[in-house]
Amino acid sequence: MSDYEEVGPIKDIPAAKMVEAAGFVKEGKQYSLATSRFPGMPLFPGHPPFQVLNFRSPSGIRAEGAQPWGPPNDVGLGYMAEYLMATSHSGAHIDALAHMTLGRDNHWYGGGNTADHLSDKGPTFGDAEKLPPFFTRGVLLDASGYRGVEALPAGSPVDATEMQAIADWAGVEVRPWDVVLIRTGYLAFWPDAERMAAHKTAGPDLSAAEWLLERGVVATGTDTETYEVQPAPDRGSPANPQPVHTRLLIEHGVYLMESVYLEEIARDGVYEFLFVALPLKIRGATGSMIDPLAMV
């Protein structure tokens, strides 16, 4: 199969669009679009917890009598190293194309399926190793700012009509090759899980997904752990609990990002910017933690 099928439409982004996106940097101001990661951090309950486990320490090396460099070590040189035990979907992250499957054949975008492409070390097709870099125009659609609330209520949908209204309110136009980030305000309460719970899983519905497809975006993200509104108000028949993931990621290869931190950029009223994200190319992973950057 071709690289296009494993990478999605972003593979064909014109060089001129990347040059154009770089032109948004006028002040040299940058916004980190990620929160920190730590043991005990709030996560989607279907994912394993994030852990940092000590592997080497100066005192441990000394007690063990280890000689990682070989003798002699008369100055008492030490170091620290650790295991990270975490899902690639911890904190701000991007879903690889192989993350979500559909149907009895468990297929995903580009023709991948579990019968042919799932090994004991993860998917071999459309996995995180194939994730592309992102260097393009970013657009913020601030749904909570538009509604004049700190954060949307839990399970509140953002539909296509509201997406357009938010864009008009912000004075921006969504264009082909864009990355569109949708703020619900969920991470305004980070990391207070109890306060966050009152605002969880708001987000775009299926009509909003169609709106994004019509405008030719290559990726989209929200500040929630599920991207789309949950429970889905438009499951269809037969019922699909995540129709937006299906429409964007599985059917069209439009990448989804979740837990993207949008508070600071929204506070400053920055609605278009250079968006940069460099996923980790981990073979067999179904996504990648990212620390995306917006620059103006």
Q: Say what the pLDDT of residue 2 is.
A: 57
Average pLDDT, stretch 23-50? Answer: 96
- Of 10-19, 70-79, 87-96, 176-185, give the lowest mean pLDDT range: 70-79
Which of 214, 203, 292 minimizes the C-alpha distance to 252? 214
Q: Say what the pLDDT of residue 4 is.
A: 65
Distance (Å) of CA 223 to CA 44, 84, 111, 178? 12, 23, 29, 17
Q: Hey, where are the domains in the chain?
A: 3-36+88-295, 51-85
> d(Cα 150, Cα 152) in Å, to the nearest integer?
7
Classify residue 8 as exposed, middle or buried by CB count within 10 Å of its CB (0-12, 13-18, 19+).
buried
Residue 37 DSSP SS3: coil
Q: pLDDT for 223-254, tens place per residue?
A: 999 999 999 999 999 999 999 999 999 999 99
User: End-to-end alpha-carbon separation of the chain, Å?
Assistant: 38
Which of 241, 20, 36 minimizes the C-alpha distance to 135? 20
Q: Say what the pLDDT of residue 3 is.
A: 65
Average pLDDT, stretch 1-21? Answer: 89
Q: Say what the pLDDT of residue 134 is.
A: 98
Residue 213 DSSP SS3: helix
pLDDT of 200 strictly over 80: yes
Q: Running DSSP on this structure, what letter comes out for residue 50?
A: P
Q: pLDDT for 104-156, tens place per residue?
A: 999 999 999 999 999 999 999 999 999 999 999 999 999 999 999 999 999 99
Helices within the chain (DSSP H only): 3-7, 15-22, 58-64, 114-117, 143-147, 160-170, 193-197, 206-214, 243-245, 251-252, 263-267
Greatest Cα-to-Cα distance within the chain, rounded to the nearest angstrom: 72
- Homologous superfamily assigned to 3-36+88-295: Putative cyclase (3.50.30.50)
Q: What are phi and psi for residue 163, nearest 5 degrees?
A: -55, -45
Q: Say what the pLDDT of residue 22 is.
A: 98
Rg (CA), the chain: 21
